[in-house]
A = this chain, B = another copy of it.
């Protein structure tokens, strides 16, 4: 049976309602909530999964947070990327243990945190943002998860370019990604992975236009819809309301043309509109 240790980041989740507390255990500290007080020392040494009670008699379970939980509890000043989008971004950008990844902007650090978790201690994230307050916020969010060692925050306008070169994975979460495709292309190694998130169709259109001009190929545009269900077995049905939109995900691949004059694919080519879903992959 695994015991809760000092330094662990845990989730205390109410048995009765929707309340959950998410924090790192430090000897001698206490968590004061409107549901009662929890002495960290009383939680340290408990079993994971155990039911404990606040001094007000409220019942809570000690849970290990998932990455989904981390993202939902992050301190934020801006709209953060939703877990539904984060999971797929990690797959599309091949963000695996040991990778170096570059992103801009940092924002509240939600994607930064998920990427830092995914690359592990051998990997690294470099995250650019022009705003100092956002980088400070992201730093605090990373500190709670002990992930600061894996991230370099650079407070700078990326219009000047990225310091990194030969990067395999680069993500832009900025309002005008098309303005930075040149510097993104310079930072990215050929054959790597470019991604961006934009909320409006107008931005998608402008970004697709830009990608064609900057030696990016195989563009993909998609959106992910997540539909939660009520969990009473006798009355299975989707929730009445759902998130209707967060943003459009755009992916593309940087390449070197052997014949730069000839467009790779143009609108008259029926394959121009092809997406990854239809690739005839063969091993």
Which residues of A are at the interface with B, using a C-beta cutoff of 8 A? 1-2, 10-11, 13, 15-23, 33, 47-53, 59, 61-69, 71-73, 75, 83-84, 86-94, 96-98, 114, 117-122, 144, 166, 168, 189-193, 199-202, 204-206, 208-209, 212, 217-246, 248, 253-259, 264-265, 267, 269, 271-283
In contact, B50 and A65 (Cβ under 8 angstroms): no
Q: Assuming A21-B282, A75-B283, is B64 touching A200 (CB within 8 A)?
A: no
In contact, B276 and A72 (Cβ under 8 angstroms): yes
- Across-interface contacts of A280 in B (CB, < 8 A): 18-20
Contacts A/B (CB < 8 Å), 30 sampled: A1-B190, A2-B168, A2-B191, A17-B271, A21-B281, A48-B191, A48-B192, A49-B253, A49-B256, A50-B191, A59-B258, A65-B94, A73-B281, A73-B282, A83-B88, A86-B91, A87-B90, A87-B91, A96-B118, A199-B235, A200-B236, A201-B205, A202-B236, A206-B233, A221-B229, A224-B225, A225-B226, A228-B276, A231-B275, A242-B242
In contact, A64 and B220 (Cβ under 8 angstroms): no
In contact, B237 and A199 (Cβ under 8 angstroms): yes
- Across-interface contacts of A241 in B (CB, < 8 A): 241-244
Q: Assuming A61-B255, A64-B191, A190-B1, is B220 touching A231 (CB within 8 A)?
A: yes
Interface of A is mostly: mixed
CA distance A237 to B221 in the complex (A): 10
CA distance A212 to B204 in the complex (A): 23
In contact, A279 and B224 (Cβ under 8 angstroms): no
Query: A168: which of B1, B64, B222 is its contact (CB, 8 Å)?
Result: B64
In contact, A278 and B18 (Cβ under 8 angstroms): yes
In contact, A189 and B114 (Cβ under 8 angstroms): no
Q: Assuming A64-B192, A66-B92, A265-B16, is B23 touching A283 (CB within 8 A)?
A: yes
CA distance A218 to B227 in the complex (A): 17
